[in-house]
Amino acid sequence: MRFARTRFALAGLAALSFLGSACGPDAVTPAPAPKTWPAWDPRTLCETSTQGLLAPTSQSDLQDILEQVQAAFYPELAGVDVRLQVMQSASDYFASFTDVTTVSLPPLQRTYYVRFNPRLFSEPASYAAVAAIIAHELGHVVDYTQKDTDALVQFALWYGTASDVSAYEHTTDERSLSLGCGTGLKAYREWLYAHVSTATMVQKEHDYYTPAQIDAWTAEHPDAQR
């Protein structure tokens, strides 16, 4: 959380030095070829009994979930380059990011990352939980695609240094909940609390919807759930 926010702010600053440049210091790895997925009700992606699929235990498994969630929930991201990227953190398991070497490009031509902590694989969250948190992270990516270069850099600086980002993160949670991901997002938060320190859990309870808040939101918005 704080790690990811600080890194995002630093990326915003770093992006300033790359504006107008056609290339940066690191090569961008090729995006995997998209798969064609069978048609099903996309809301089942975030249900506890999701398609009988097992919890993800590899980057390949995460890639499959990312592609399915992006295709099912975010048609506005069709054709947008969204990739997985490994991160190391004691407190965060997922985050979203913009490739700083592409910040100066038109928003839909940039490369975006959903970053993941490989510690996830030792005691993985359920498929539904991971689908729901990826839906949350892709909600951030949608936000990034709606910002020009200056606005994106300013947002990165704000997010990395703000004392309270809960209003923004709650809004992003609500986007996932409106897609029918209440069950999965609740499962993810319960899993997360069991895999971070008490201090980190308290901060996350402040910054993001808790399981109780998810229950309250879904009770008030029954049409958002199956």
Could you read off the pLDDT of 133-147 as tens digits, one per residue?
999 999 999 999 999
Alpha-carbon distance values, 89 to 1, 117, 118, 135, 196 (Å) = 9, 7, 9, 20, 10
Q: Distance (Å, rounded) from C-alpha 105 to C-alpha 117?
A: 28
Return the percentage of the chain with pLDDT > 90, whole number. 73
Higher pLDDT, 66 or 32: 66
What does the alpha-carbon distance between residue 125 and residue 186 come to, in Å, rounded to a whole number?
A: 11
Angstrom distances, CA of residue 69 to CA of 41, 65, 137, 176, 205: 12, 6, 10, 11, 25
When pLDDT is cut at 50, 70 and 90, the band that residue 30 belongs to is low
Kindly report which listed range (32-41, 96-105, 211-220) carries the lowest average pLDDT score: 32-41
The answer to whether 124 and 173 have CB atoms below 8 angstroms apart is no
Residue 224's pLDDT is 79
pLDDT of residue 43: 59
Q: What is the mean pLDDT of residues 98-106?
A: 96
Q: What is the pLDDT of residue 36?
A: 46
First-last CA distance in the chain: 31
Residues 6+ away with beta carbon under 8 Å from 61: none
Determine the residue type at 207.
D
Sign of dihedral through CA atoms 159, 64, 174, 122? negative
- Alpha-carbon distance of 136 to 19, in angstroms, equals 28
Per-residue pLDDT band for 49 (boundaries 50, 70, 90) equals low
Cβ-contact 79, 102 below 8 angstroms: no
| pLDDT per residue as tens digits for the range 54-87 | 789 999 999 999 999 999 999 999 999 999 999 9
The span from the CA of 150 to the CA of 136, in Å, is 24
pLDDT score of 5 more than 60: no
- pLDDT the model gives residue 59: 95
- Exposed e or buried b per residue across 43-61, where buried means at least 16 C-beta atoms within 10 angstroms of its C-beta: bebbbeebeebebbeebeb
Range in 17-21, 65-69, 187-191, 201-205 the model is least confident about:
17-21
